[in-house]
Structures are given as C-alpha cells and as structure tokens.
Structure 1
Amino acid sequence: MKPIFLLITVLFVFSCGKEKVVLLPEISHSEITEIFDVSPAYLFYDETQKDSVELNRKNLISTTNWLVNVDKRLTLKQAIPLIKFIQEKKQNSSHKNEKAKNYFTCNDTSRKNLGFIEFTNVVYYLGSSNDYFKTQSKSTPKAPSIGINIDLNNNITIINPDSDHFIIQTNKENVINHLKKMTLDAKTVYLNFNKALSFQDYISFKSLVLSINKDSIYISNNEFIY
C-alpha cells in the first residue's frame, strides 16, 4: 500500500514540550513524491529573535532515509551549517545504511501534496566556486566549467569562459534557455548562492535546475554559499 500525504504548508512539531511551526518551502513540481522508511529532522525559524535557528534531530535514525524539514524563512547562512552537520553525522555513523538518502521536504503546489528534493551527495562549500578553484593545485587539470551566481535579489549571472558572451545577466525565467543555447559538451555547471538568500529562494532555484535535461548539462554536486 502506498503512503498518502496531505498538503501541509505548515508543520506543527512538538519540541521540548512546546508546539513549534515549520513553514515548508514551495515548489511547482517534484519528481520525487513518495519515500519509505523515513525519519525527520527540523530546522526552526524564530521570528522573535534575529538570526535565531534551532535544529531538532532527536528522531533521526541513521539507517533510514532522512527528511529534513527546513523553514523557508531561514537564510542559507543560518541553515547550511546545520545541514552540513546533519550530513556529517550520517556519513560518520557506525550504523549507516549506504542505500539511505537525504531529502528536503517541500510543498508541491501542482499536486497539492508533499514533494521531495534529494541532497544526499551535495557538498556545501563556504565561499564562491572561483575562490575554491584558486586553492586547487595548479598541476591538477580542471575540466571546462560554467559558474552560475544567484545574488540576494535573485539576479542570475552566468559566467562561461568559452562563450562570446563571457558574462550573461539573466533571471530565473530565462536561465534555462541560456544554458540550453550554450555549448556544454564536457562542461560542469557550478551553483553559487548568496548566503543571505532565503531557503525558499534556494529551493526554488534547485527545483528549476533539476528540470534540466541531464544529457546535455551536468550540474555539479558541489554547491557554493558566498
């Protein structure tokens, strides 16, 4: 029997004997709609205290699939360190299940139900992809790459060294078309997100990127928070 999920724009969670709220991020479509054998973690937003974030992970079981419920109002600066912490806990567990994965829980507005975005293999770096590659050994060959930067106002910059248009300024509505027009053979796309972006903004762009035809474009699992 398949599990039945209801659309939940707000999760009510009891933590330390108190009811707390998580506003889930929204996406227009999700390829993943059902997950079995799960345990949850919650990242709470406290609107009464600036820069306040709380992680509740007491129900996580290392051998299960993890559903990470992040309040969409949190910034990446607040959320990413705790997400990295969760990832490392699972990776370093002596009882881990190699087949168990990690997912962000979202509201799929097209289905009026829950949807999920996998981030099991995503590696988060603090800083930009340009900063990262400057630290790499010059003797290490670097494959041709394209950088996409998403700033605080959701403006998008595409940096393609091999294009006549080295830098393209665009937006979410047009970024996919720009990428499809580029010659992307043997190229990797690196995503750079401003740390002040909300988790909702991050998830919206992630969902958009996941809709790209993977045969023509490779999106790196390395993501940069600058």
Structure 2
Amino acid sequence: MKHTFLLIAILFFFSCGKDKVVLLPEISHSEITEILDVSPAYLFYDETQKDSVELNRKNLIVTTNWLVNVDKRLTLKQAIPHITLLQEKKRNSSHKNENAKNYFTCNDISRKNLGFIEFTDVFYHVESSSDYFNKNSNLKPSESSIGINVDFNNSITIITPDSDPFIIQTNKENVINDLKKVIPDTKTVYLNFNSALTFQDYISFKSLILSLENKSIHISNNEFIY
C-alpha cells in the first residue's frame, strides 16, 4: 500500500455519510517508515465538543499490524483509555498473531511522508510511577532507575531513588542532550506524562526520548499517565 494513499485515507475518513478528519501528530524523524499487512483504527477529535472523542475500529483485523491514527489535538486523558481498549482487544484475542504489532501513525516531517512509532508492548498506567511502585512493593525499581515526568511548558522532572526530585527546563531541540547529562549511567527509565498533555506533546517527547535508548539505557514499556 502506497504511503500517499494511506495519508489521504487517514486524514479524510468517510463515515455515516460525512467526512471526518484526523490531524496526525508530527515527528521530526522516524526509524519505521513502511509497514505491510495493516488495518487501521481512528481516534477522532470533535471540534464542537472538546471533551468528546470517538473511536472507529470497524476495519481492525486482529491478525494484522494495527495502525492507530490518533488526532494530535486529543489529550492523553481522552486518548489513552481507548488505546488501552485496543491493546486489550488484541492481547486477549484467541486468534491473535504473535508477529502482528501496533503502531501510532505520524507525519514524518523530515521525509514529508508517514512514519510510525511502535507501542505493542507498552502498558499504560493511570497514575504516576512513584504511586504505582509505592502500591506494589514487590515491583520496586532498581537503584539505577529513574523516572522522567513530562509536564507543561517543556518542564521535565527527574526522579531518582536516592535524591530529591529536580526539574530541568528545556526545549524539544535540547531535551536529549540535557537528559544525557543527568542519566549517563541509568539502566531503566520510567516515563510519566501529564494527562492534560495533547497527543502531539506525547508523541513529540516519546519519539525524542526513545532515541536515548542504547545498551546502557532501557526505556521501560510501563508508561504512566498522571
């Protein structure tokens, strides 16, 4: 399936006799640029009712790769429950294909085409990582792990097991270099996102933070929406 056709299909969705539009989140670069054997789901933003969100999953086939197209204007509070619902649908299916993955569809502005971010193994928790680990004492993070809280105004709070939280004020261009300075030896990073952030905010930081991952730094597949 050609990307140009996919882009039209994503932005303009025909349903119940009227066109609906999904504004895809933008990323500066994506490592994943092509996916075969796909079926789509759509999360729509309603301009007339800003607290409203609509999920269309009619065309999802559980044995295929899923392209989840989320309008970038939705907040995480609106979008994450529907995304979790989709994940559980595939994970609990008796007909699932272990090789079939889930991806967020984005506009890769560097290539002027589609890019994709995989989230197959991500587990979303509607609380902070600190609260989660406090309630689950048997799941305490290691001493080498940290939490990263992404909030408004490019504010990032770093939480370490052996010191008080501290805030770094940064921007999207500098976030990777700034984070490298404060987590050079960390093995596991737990990501926390304010639930009022837009899906565009989430994808922007997620795509940048994922580039931190290497042999010594692991980004946990547990993400926390607080």
TM-score normalized by structure 2?
0.91
| Matched residue, 1:143 | 142
Offset at residue 17 of structure 1 (A): 2.5
**1:146 & 1:40 partners in 2: Cα distance?**
35
Cα displacement string for residues 76-107 of structure 1 (whole angstroms, at most 9, x for unaligned residues) = 00000000000000011111000000000000
**2:53 & 2:23 partners in 1: Cα distance?**
13
Offset at residue 60 of structure 1 (A): 0.1
Residue identity matched to 1:57: R
Cα distance change of structure 1 residues 34 and 161 upon mapping to structure 2, 3 Å threshold:
same
| Matched residue, 1:170 | 169
Cα displacement string for residues 117-148 of structure 1 (whole angstroms, at most 9, x for unaligned residues) = 000000000010000010012x5553122111
**1:23 & 1:143 partners in 2: Cα distance?**
39
| 2:3 partner SS | coil
Cα displacement string for residues 157-202 of structure 1 (whole angstroms, at most 9, x for unaligned residues) = 1123446x85242323333223323455463111110101000000
Cα distance change of structure 1 residues 43 and 93 upon mapping to structure 2, 3 Å threshold:
same
**1:193 & 1:100 partners in 2: Cα distance?**
27
- 1:1-226 alignment runs, 5 A limit: 3-6=1-4, 8=7, 11-137=11-137, 142-144=141-143, 145-162=145-162, 167-171=166-170, 172-182=172-182, 184-185=184-185, 187-226=187-226
Task: Point out where structure 1 has 5 or more consecutive residues left out of the alignment.
Answer: none
Offset at residue 4 of structure 1 (A): 3.0
Whichever structure has more helix as a proportion of its residues is 2
Residue identity matched to 1:4: K
Say if 2:125 and 2:224, in contact at 8 Å, map to a contact too: yes
**1:130 & 1:16 partners in 2: Cα distance?**
44
Instruction: Give the CA RMSD over aligned residues.
Output: 2.0
| 1:33 partner SS | coil
**1:15 & 1:83 partners in 2: Cα distance?**
20
Number of residues paired by the alignment? Answer: 222
Cα distance change of structure 1 residues 85 and 183 upon mapping to structure 2, 3 Å threshold:
closer
